[in-house]
Amino acid sequence: MSSPSILTPKNIFLFIPNLIGYARVILAAGSLAVMKHHPKICTWLYAVSCLLDAFDGAAARKFNQATRFGAILDMVTDRCTTSCLIIFLSLAYPSWIIAFQFLISLDLASHYMHMYAMLNGGESSHKKVGKDKGWILNLYYTNTRVLFFVCAANELFFVALYLFSFEPKTPPYLGYWGKIPLSYATFLGVFSFPTWLLKQIINVIQMIHAAYTLAELDIEERNKKNIESAKSK
């Protein structure tokens, strides 16, 4: 009878989903390096990095290599790349800087509170959202197609704003739509805006549910201590 293989942290770091995660980081870093002067190259690097987000999860399920490290690597990469792009947008559109600061804060706070609440609630993953958290969050996290589409549209809207900042000052305009530039960035932004808005609503809902979950955990812990204290008297 063969003895079971003993894994080490090095084995975890070399899991296929995590290797894909490292590739995402490298591509995202490359997009940031050329973001200021090469919008086409930046867009392609950024887009491929985001698309690989769908493959690391599929690889984790196929090869049974889902890990806590991989889940954190995935979320941190998402939050950092999006935040960096929004920071660039705040420089490109200085009059909207407060709105961009709000979007970064909402994204980071919502996801951090959600993950912290889920893990402290005993769940092994922040994506294991039951129906008790509401049908929107349940559908968003349990349906991989919905999750991919919403996240992709969210990134596409920010990419559209990024590309729009490089548009010439006097582009051709849509005839009956006033001063709306006729460009690829415009159509990309219009197409992705409704789902982008939905993503922001989901972030708010996620943060509210996380706050309630944490409050319920606090109540449970305090009630338990009060009961133990009463018994000891």
- Cα distances (angstroms) measured from residue 99 to each of 32, 89, 129: 21, 10, 29
φ/ψ of 182, rounded to 5, equals -90, 95
d(CA 104, CA 233): 50
φ/ψ of 59, rounded to 5, equals -65, -40
d(CA 73, CA 132): 27
- Residue 78 appears among annotated catalytic residues: yes
Of the candidates 53, 56, 74, 78, the residue annotated as catalytic is: 78
Say which residues have a Cβ less than 8 Å from residue 73's Cβ, sequence separation at least 6: 18, 21
Q: Are 101 and 108 in contact (CB under 8 A)?
A: no
Active site residues: 78
